[in-house]
């Protein structure tokens, strides 16, 4: 077969596929998860899952990442794929097709798990690894290995084995560290333990943060302000929630009043403070109403006592 007519070959090996036979359920899962994985990588590269501005609609991105089966070879089960979309991207310089880049990124990710200490591309996230995990689950059933051979834009290979499957499972289940940006209101500074909290403006749970002694003045100056906090975050792999953020840089965007963020119906709530590990004085209070006004009045009283 001409290499121009295919982008990816997937070969399954194992005692149950020696004669090119595999259950319909396993085969359907294999091709559907490969397709989902490539589409998700396409959305990542297109900015859909990273918060970047997108110039193309997600449906157009998925169309460009659509795969089709072009051959099934005898012997150990071998499936060859190509991209459905063959339209050239309208750029002055020849660049790889988005679908080609997505398939290549999938192979790079699988290859990264071949190492005892996985090294993954920066674009990789837990949701897309779940698709790869679904593929690797086959190594517990019908097959012993799944080999991915990329034909374009570059020639490269990767293989899923039981060991690789175990590393993928570990990655999904264990927390991991990643560069992260959090936007919200910086609250509740604890100078003794170098801790603070950032309350996102989208009503997500507050983020526990730690900072170095050298950044103490910068953190204090950002109190009660709308900030963008850059740092290394410990992320719960299962749901992507941030367990802890180690602050590297704080950008003050505006005062709370200027941003117009904390209106009573959408702002900081006392139940967040009740759940805080920094503020213990709220625990046994029965006179606290779930309003921002109460919190601000209490802060004002405390501030007047300190004068």
| Per-residue confidence in pLDDT tens, the chain, 307 aa | 444 578 999 999 887 776 777 888 888 999 999 999 999 999 988 876 544 444 556 888 889 999 999 988 766 688 999 998 765 545 455 567 899 999 999 999 999 999 988 888 888 888 889 999 999 998 876 689 999 999 887 899 999 999 999 999 988 888 878 888 999 999 889 999 999 999 997 778 899 999 999 999 999 999 999 999 999 998 887 677 899 999 999 999 875 544 444 444 344 455 555 555 544 444 455 555 544 566 666 666 666 655 5
Span between the terminal Cα atoms of the chain, in Å = 82
pLDDT for position 267: 46
Domain boundaries along the sequence of the chain? 3-173, 176-306
pLDDT at 95: 64
pLDDT at 235: 85
State the Cα angle at 30 between 120 and 128, rounded to 5°: 30
Q: Tell me the CATH architecture of domain 176-306.
A: Beta Barrel (2.40)
The H or E element that residue 22 is part of is none
Give the dihedral of Cα atoms 250, 255, 258, 264; nearest 10 deg: 110
Residue 140: what pLDDT? Answer: 76
What pLDDT was estimated at residue 31? 94
What are phi and psi for residue 158, nearest 5 degrees?
Answer: -155, 155
pLDDT at 77: 85
What pLDDT, on a 0 to 100 scale, did the predictor assign at position 22?
81
> How much is the pLDDT for 257?
47
Look at residue 102 and give its three-state secondary structure.
helix
């Amino acid at each position: 077969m001409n290499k121009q007519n295919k982008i990816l070959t997937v070969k399954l090996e194992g005692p149950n596929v020696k004669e090119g036979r595999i259950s319909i359920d396993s085969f359907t899962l294999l091709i559907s998860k490969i397709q989902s994985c490539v589409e998700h990588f396409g959305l990542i590269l297109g900015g859909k899952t990273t918060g970047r501005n997108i110039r193309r609609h997600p449906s157009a991105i998925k169309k460009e990442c659509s795969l089709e089966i072009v051959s099934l070879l005898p012997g150990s089960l071998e499936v060859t794929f190509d991209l459905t979309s063959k339209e050239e991207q309208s750029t002055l310089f020849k660049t790889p097709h988005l679908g080609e880049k997505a398939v290549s990124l999938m192979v790079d990710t699988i290859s990264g798990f071949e190492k005892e200490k996985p090294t993954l591309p920066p674009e990789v996230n837990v949701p897309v690894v779940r698709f790869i995990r679904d593929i690797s689950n086959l190594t517990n059933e019908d097959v012993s290995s799944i080999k991915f051979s990329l034909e374009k834009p570059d020639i490269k290979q990767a293989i899923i084995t039981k060991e690789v499957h175990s590393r993928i499972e570990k990655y999904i289940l264990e927390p991991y560290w990643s560069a992260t940006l959090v936007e919200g209101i910086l609250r509740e500074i604890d100078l003794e333990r170098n801790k603070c909290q950032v309350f996102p403006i989208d009503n997500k749970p507050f983020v526990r943060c730690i900072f170095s002694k050298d950044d103490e003045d910068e953190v204090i100056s950002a109190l009660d302000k709308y900030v963008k906090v850059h740092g290394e975050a410990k992320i719960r792999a299962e749901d992507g929630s941030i367990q802890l953020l180690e602050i590297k840089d704080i950008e003050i965007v505006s005062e709370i009043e200027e941003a117009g963020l904390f209106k009573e119906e959408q702002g900081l709530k006392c139940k967040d403070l009740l759940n805080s590990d920094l503020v213990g004085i709220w625990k046994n209070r029965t006179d606290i109403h779930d309003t921002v006004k109460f919190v601000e009045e209490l802060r004002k009283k405390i501030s007047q006592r300190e004068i």
